[in-house]
Chain A
Amino acid sequence: MRSFAFWSLVVALLTYMTLPTIVVLMTSVNPTEILAFPPQGISFDWYAKAVTYPDFQVAFRNGLIVTACASTLALIVGSAFAWLIHHYEFRGRGLLEGVLWSPLIIPHFTLGFGFLLLGGAFRMQQGYVMIVLAHMVLVMPFVTRAVHVSLANIDPALARAAANLGASPFQVLTRITLPLVVPGMAGGWLIAAVLSLTEFTASLYVTGSRTQTLPVAMYNYIREYADPTVSAVSALLIIATTLIMLVADRTIGLRRVLAIDTH
């Protein structure tokens, strides 16, 4: 009896967590313009409008460019940094780590505002360089963390054995370490890409009308119109991110990358 009450509570709480997602999916296939519950039928008109709406098309393309550049840069720099802090102790390491982990704590609007002002100082405001840099800095901690966890799980004897057999440091890095951390790097890169693709607050500050990313375009649309077009875009984003995360979990164990150990 107590167990039944407990599980009912858990189900109720999970319903609360997923209710908004269900509502947005429902409105996206609702044929009417006003939001009617329950839906009056099934229609994909809003999806058609969403994918043909020029602002969303441009913003989606912008977002892909920013995400590809930012998450790949974060992957390169973050992996190198993870390798560095795994292997070496050096002066200033604490400070460097503090600065590079700080985007997890710094409010996104403070960071976005900083990059807006920095862009102004170099006459590059609202340009891709500043947008990519802001996104890269925001997502890098996730890549660094994922790669760092992978490195910590490698048996150090492997690298020693390779070195004893005459492998150069470069060979150890490329033949032993790199293949073993590829899953961690892939997981970190996927998380970075998803976070960058959906980042809104900092993007609102650093993008302009011609460089806006999809979440910013959605925000601008919501403020002017109230029809389910944004529901359709949201539904597409929800489906895409869920699929990416499922793939990431199946192939590389998302739980390990996020360091959720439940055993």
Chain B
Amino acid sequence: MLARRPFFITFLAPAVLTAVILAAAIFEVLQYSVREFIPGSLNVGGFTLANFAALNKPIYWWVLADTFFISLLTAIFSLLASYPVAYALVRAKKDWVRSALVSLSITPLFTGEIVRTFSWMLTLGTDGFINSMLRKLGLIDMPIQLMYTRFGVVVALVQFSMPVMIILLATAIAHVDRDCEKAAANLGASPTAVFWRITLPLTVPGILSGIVVVFAWTMSAFSTPQLIGGGKILMISNLAYLQGFSVLNLPFAATLSLIALICALGSLALMKGVTSRIERRLAVN
């Protein structure tokens, strides 16, 4: 047995240990979410479902709805902004253009959320870059409010999600069979028609996975709504942090964190269902 499966136990043990630690951490969140909150104490009481019942208040429904709304807007605008870049990245004729596009679109992924959020604060602030430029150009007299607005949060979130969206779209576009496009062109389709009727439909699976990945990702965004929203825009992450660190209601914070996890898992499960159905339909046609 040992001879036929060399290193099996040696390589399995650390992975299993890591998985157990991770599962234990998530189990702690689950465990706290069904515990009773004792005001003024970090200790928790007995088992209860009261935290889930407490969710049923208009304010929490609003936060959840806003989280969905912001994530949906981000996913849609990220798709619209990323598709041309991904298309250029795959179809550019010169090698250096492709390399430059890859570098420019991927590096923002690695600077970290706090640097990127802070950069947007400088760009969107009352004395920030955009307002200064607009004032210099004489387009506005009074600064426009961009910080602490839903618009500002979405503008930053779209930029954050573009690298991931571009990667997913570029992979989809690269897999389009160029012969299909050539055939359509030979049959008299204009370049515009080739794009809308051949290329775009063939990348639908990539588009869908991009939308869902960005949607799920944005649902768990924290620092952008925290700093650019500045308490005026609350997503579920900010509410969870507020409950955990300001109200010190750890059980309710755990409940909200769990809801966020369920939403993320749910949207990805939904994606699997939808993409496999669409891929089947494409295969039939």
Contacts and interface: CB of A to CB of B under 8 A. Distances in A.
Interface of A: 2, 6-7, 9-10, 13-14, 16-21, 23-24, 26-27, 34-37, 76-77, 80-81, 83-84, 88, 90, 96, 99-100, 102-103, 105-111, 113-115, 117-118, 121, 133-134, 136-137, 140, 169-170, 173, 191, 194-195, 197-201, 204-205, 215, 218-219, 222, 230-231, 234, 237-238, 241-242, 244-246, 249, 254-255, 258-263
Contact of B119 (A21, A34, A255, A262): A21
Contacts of A195: 110
B265 A219 contact: no
Given A201-B113, A254-B106, 15 more contacts: A10-B84, A14-B85, A14-B104, A17-B104, A84-B11, A100-B15, A107-B219, A107-B237, A113-B244, A121-B28, A169-B7, A197-B112, A201-B223, A219-B223, A260-B106
A241 B29 contact: no
B203 interface: no
B159 A17 contact: yes
B16 A96 contact: yes
Contacts of A222: 118, 121, 227
B15 A96 contact: yes
B6 interface: yes
B122 A231 contact: yes
Interface residues of B, number: 88
A173 B222 contact: no
A99 B22 contact: yes
B251 to A, nearest CB: 10
Contacts of B115: 24, 198, 215, 218, 234, 237-238
A14 B106 CA distance: 11
Interface stretch (B53-61, B138-146, B255-263, B275-283): B255-263
B28 A114 contact: yes
Contacts of A230: 118
A142 B106 CA distance: 15
B14 A170 contact: no
B123 interface: yes
A199 B109 CA distance: 12
Contacts of B111: 21, 198, 234, 237-238, 241-242
Contacts of A113: 29, 240, 244, 253-254, 257
15 contacts: A2-B191, A20-B116, A24-B122, A36-B132, A107-B237, A110-B29, A110-B260, A113-B253, A114-B257, A136-B18, A201-B223, A218-B114, A218-B118, A260-B167, A260-B171
Given A100-B22, A201-B222, A261-B171, A107 B268 contact: no
B62 interface: no
Contacts of A215: 112-115
Contacts of A37: 129, 132-133, 136
Contacts of B219: 107
Contacts of B113: 198, 200-201, 215
A198 B111 CA distance: 7
A147 B152 CA distance: 39
A209 B119 CA distance: 24
B171 to A, nearest CB: 7
B51 interface: no
B264 A105 contact: yes
Given A105-B265, A106-B264, A83 B85 contact: no
Contact of B23 (A7, A90, A99, A117): A99
Could you say which of B19, B22, B89, B116 has the most chain A C-beta atoms within 10 Å of its C-beta? B22
Rank and list the top 9 A-B pairs by shortest CB-CB distance, nearest first. Answer: A198-B112, A107-B220, A114-B25, A20-B119, A169-B6, A117-B28, A37-B132, A80-B11, A81-B15
B285 interface: no
Contacts of B108: 17-18, 21
A137 B21 contact: yes
Given A20-B123, A77-B14, A117 B254 contact: yes
B24 interface: yes
Contacts of B222: 107-109, 200-201
Nearest to B257: A110
A120 B90 CA distance: 49
Contacts of A169: 6-7
B14 A76 contact: yes
Interface in B129-186: 129, 132-133, 136, 156, 159, 162, 167, 170-171, 174
Contacts of B220: 106-110
A260 B192 CA distance: 26
Contacts of B38: none
B84 A9 contact: yes
Contact of A107 (B7, B127, B128, B264): B264
Contacts of B26: 106, 110-111, 114
A108 B250 CA distance: 17
A241 B107 contact: yes
Contacts of B6: 169-170, 173
